[in-house]
């Protein structure tokens, strides 16, 4: 499972993570062939039905080697789609604080990450692909449900938590698309604080029903 | 300016609207050449800097002829990008009711429109294009700001109405992307009432600060 350092490194180039210090071109090749096999397997079978073991088989390497490079299926998936932002880690971090601050913490982390120069480009590219190709949409959907929504639901423990989490996702996805993709003004130029103050409480309300300010 | 019937016809094939009853292939050709010229002008100059007169010039037709086929620049733009949904008309309809129902009315109209079979496909395709090509993003951005946000702001009359409207747009855009594009569950299968109850009040809060239920 990921560490806090992983979360901080979420926007660092993904291909450097997990590479052994004494990497040689053979190790690079092995790693690349695992990622390539993963991309093929995910695309064909979707996120849920793809296993680390199946990817190892497709890449013709030992499963232990896959686990040497990637700590989880989510890790490998993120690399396969070259995602710079890790919603699963974002959620983990937000859930680490007080329950009534989940929305604000999540939005602050998101905005601080994506406001950095160039950071939002790949996220927008990923959303662009997901809106254009069904297999990409399916992968992203399954990843979000499995690694984000179910995790939140489990943590919050309420009956309709998954439904709540999926509605919270609409506000988060919409913020990303409108601020960083279409860049609607004055939202796109609004300060991080302004965004956190106006979006954070909504995410919190969606998740837990806390009253808005 | 559009009528209420226009709003109901928002998902009907756009190219049939405004065509004279006795249309001949010459009229079709003229209309098509106006739309083609508009697409070129909008793409080159953006939404704000393109005029009906300039489009007429580019299409080598009389400006009166452009106005014969299209009641406004927004009409022509919507046709140029083949938009099945008209956010400007949606907003107009939502603003026609009581002020504390703007959010709920807007979301209900949106969901009832896009839940119809096939209706969301072109909206998602438009968003896909806008996330992939800067000129498409610019056009969509300018259209939304000019025809949607400024209209809401003018109607609500508050100092920060444009900022509020752009934040409301995040919730609306996110609903469209998550429910109809990525199709995140359980949101994607939720009933229209469920969506209206969970998204409508948020849009209302973004716009006017009304407390959430």
Q: Do B169 and A177 touch (CB under 8 A)?
A: no
Query: Binning pLDDT at 50, 70 and 90, where does residue B159 land?
Result: confident
Residue B196: its chain A contacts at CB < 8 A?
none
Residues of B with CB under 8 A from a CB of A: 124-125, 127-128, 130-132, 137, 140-141, 144-145, 149, 162-163, 166-167, 169-175, 177-179, 181-187, 190, 194, 198-199, 202, 205-206, 211-212
Q: Do A198 and B174 touch (CB under 8 A)?
A: no
Residue B190: its chain A contacts at CB < 8 A?
163, 166
Task: Classify residue A181 by its DSSP letter.
Answer: I
d(CA B58, CA A100) in angstroms, rounded, equals 57
Indicate the Cα dihedral angle B162, B163, B168, B169, nearest 10°. Answer: 80
pLDDT in tens, A148-187: 888 888 888 878 889 999 999 999 999 999 999 999 999 9
Q: Do B202 and A202 touch (CB under 8 A)?
A: yes
pTM over 0.80: no
- Report the percent of chain A where pLDDT is more than 70: 86
Q: Do B163 and A190 touch (CB under 8 A)?
A: yes
What is the pLDDT, as a whole number, of residue B9? Answer: 39
Q: Are A13 and A109 in contact (CB under 8 A)?
A: no
What is the SS3 assignment for chain B?
A: CCCHHHHHHHHCCHHHCCCCCCCCHHHHHHHHHHHHHHHHHHHHHHHHHCCHHHHHHHHCCCHHHHHHHCCCHHHHHHHHCCCCCCHHHHHHHHHCCCHHHHHHHHHHHHHHHHCCCCHHHHHHHHHHHHHHCHHHHHHHHHHHHHHHHHHHHHHHCCCCHHHHHHHHHHHHHHHHHHHHHCCCCCHHHCCHHHHHHHHHHHHHHHHHCCCCC
d(CA A175, CA A117) in angstroms, rounded, equals 17
Task: Classify residue A188 by its DSSP letter.
Answer: G
Q: How far is A20 from chain B (nearest CA, A)?
A: 35
Q: Is 50 exceeded by the pLDDT of residue A205?
A: yes
Q: Is the peptide bond before A131 cis (omega within 30 degrees of 0)?
A: no
């Amino acid at each position: 499972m990921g560490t806090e350092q992983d979360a901080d490194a979420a926007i660092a180039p993904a291909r450097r993570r997990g590479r052994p210090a004494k990497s040689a071109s053979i190790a690079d090749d092995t790693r690349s062939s695992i990622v390539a096999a993963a991309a093929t397997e995910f695309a064909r079978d979707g996120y849920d039905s793809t296993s680390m073991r199946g990817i190892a088989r497709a890449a013709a390497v030992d499963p232990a080697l896959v686990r040497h490079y990637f700590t989880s299926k989510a890790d490998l998936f993120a690399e396969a789609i070259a995602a710079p932002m890790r919603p699963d880690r974002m959620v983990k971090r937000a859930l680490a604080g007080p329950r009534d601050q989940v929305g604000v913490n999540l939005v602050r982390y998101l905005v601080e990450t994506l406001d950095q120069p160039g950071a939002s480009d790949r996220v927008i590219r990923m959303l662009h692909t997901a809106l254009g190709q069904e297999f990409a949409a399916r992968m992203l959907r399954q990843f979000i449900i499995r690694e984000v929504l179910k995790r939140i639901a489990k943590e919050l423990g309420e009956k309709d938590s998954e439904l709540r989490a999926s509605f919270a996702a609409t506000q988060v996805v919409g913020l990303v698309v409108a601020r960083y993709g279409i860049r609607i003004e004055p939202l796109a130029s609004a300060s991080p604080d302004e965004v956190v103050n106006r979006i954070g409480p909504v995410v919190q309300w969606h998740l837990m029903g806390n009253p808005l300010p």
